[in-house]
């Protein structure tokens, strides 16, 4: 069994953004040379997520509205007593999750219809990384 590791780096212009990273993840699979196996894609920061869903603009707006209702940016968080102002970002990350694992078949992501991999940033405007780890044959 082989393994391959790569870091993807992102710096968003906005505090919150949803970025389709499927093409970058697929490029990592191609670089790895692995034809059959698994790929792990995970956010390496506690205010960002990686998740799988449809790349549809209305859905992305729905996520934004849903998450803001659950964890409003301007709410009074105990975390802010530490001098931080991103309590909402930590909660949004917890809801959306840290990572995804996808099967690789014949050297490609083995997805269902419409599935895409996204990087979700909830406290952006600074450089953050995503770990991509491929294992298989």
What's the rounded Cα separation, in Å, for the pair 10 and 41?
A: 14
pLDDT of the residue at 48: 98
pLDDT of the residue at 70: 97
pLDDT of the residue at 8: 98
Q: What is the mean pLDDT of each run of 10 residues along the chain (137 residues)?
A: 98 97 98 98 98 97 97 97 96 98 98 97 96 98
pLDDT of the residue at 87: 97
Handedness of CA 43, 26, 3, 112 (dihedral sign): positive
Please state, as a whole number, how many other Cβ atoms lie within 10 Å of the Cβ of residue 137: 10
pLDDT of the residue at 19: 98
Q: What is the pTM of this model?
A: 0.96
Q: Where are the domains of the chain?
A: 2-136
The fold adopted by the segment(s) 2-136 is: Jelly Rolls (2.60.120)
pLDDT of the residue at 67: 98
């Amino acid at each position: 069994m082989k393994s391959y590791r790569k870091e993807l780096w992102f710096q968003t212009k906005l505090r919150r953004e949803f970025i389709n990273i499927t093409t970058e993840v697929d490029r990592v699979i191609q670089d790895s040379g692995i034809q059959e196996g698994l790929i792990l894609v995970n956010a390496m920061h506690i205010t960002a997520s990686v998740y799988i869903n449809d790349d549809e603009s209305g859905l992305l707006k729905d996520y934004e509205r849903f998450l803001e209702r659950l964890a409003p940016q301007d709410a009074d968080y105990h975390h802010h007593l530490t001098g931080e102002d991103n309590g909402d970002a930590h909660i949004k990350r917890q809801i959306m999750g840290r990572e995804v694992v996808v099967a690789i078949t014949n050297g490609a992501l083995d997805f269902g219809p419409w599935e895409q991999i996204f990087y979700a940033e909830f406290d952006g405007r600074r450089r953050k990384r995503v770990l991509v780890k491929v294992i298989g044959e």
